[in-house]
Structure 1
Amino acid sequence: MDINSIGTDSSKPTHKHFFFSCPDDPAETLAVIIPEQLHASYGMYTWPCAPVLAWYLWSQRPELVGKHIIELGAGTSLPGVVAAKCGANVTLSDCSRFTKCLKIVEQVL
């Protein structure tokens, strides 16, 4: 999904679907659905670097089990959600003005 497919109504929420798999074991997969809403603060926008970092974390998943990770400025929290689903103890943080971000992410986890 690119930014053009979201539409022009920035108040209407959308969801991005991310799928992670392992070529060596097709049964080992992870699907994450991230709610997203474009607005002036961009607190609920999945930046293009987030899927790249999330994919890297997925590729390192055996090393994440039991690790303590903090995601600063988490926003939609895709990397943090992936790390948590891979067994890490994750703390998500964001600006105190963006409480909606972390409340929505609680639903994803």
Structure 2
Amino acid sequence: MNTTPEHDARFANMTFSAVYPLYVTKVEKKGRSLDELHQVIAWLTGFNEADLQALIKQKATFQQFFAAASINPNAQLIRGLICGYRVEEIATPLTQQVRWLDKLVDELAKGRKIEKILRSAE
């Protein structure tokens, strides 16, 4: 599935620091912990809590955020709908990576077990 260039540019220029508090609120409202959120983000990106805080302080865009990330090779196993898009069909790598993160946060907030969220080769 192709997204529009405007859509992709919006993700590239959006700052992680603007979205991170929304992730925190979403998971905590559903009874999940900040540690679990950080575990999910670390699985996808390789970033630890100190890395995240530095990226937030720098006001890193998602383009910068994912350029610095070490994407988990099993991220390709992330499947499903997020905001009306099938994440496995998104053609633009950055947009797909942002949607992967959204999908993982969504699964955490919906109560999915961490072991299932942190996909392993099946």
Structure of greater relative contact order (alpha carbons < 8 Å, 6+ residues apart) = 2
More helix by share: 2
More strand by share: 1
TM-score (norm 1): 0.31
Over alpha carbons, which structure has the higher Rg?
Answer: 1
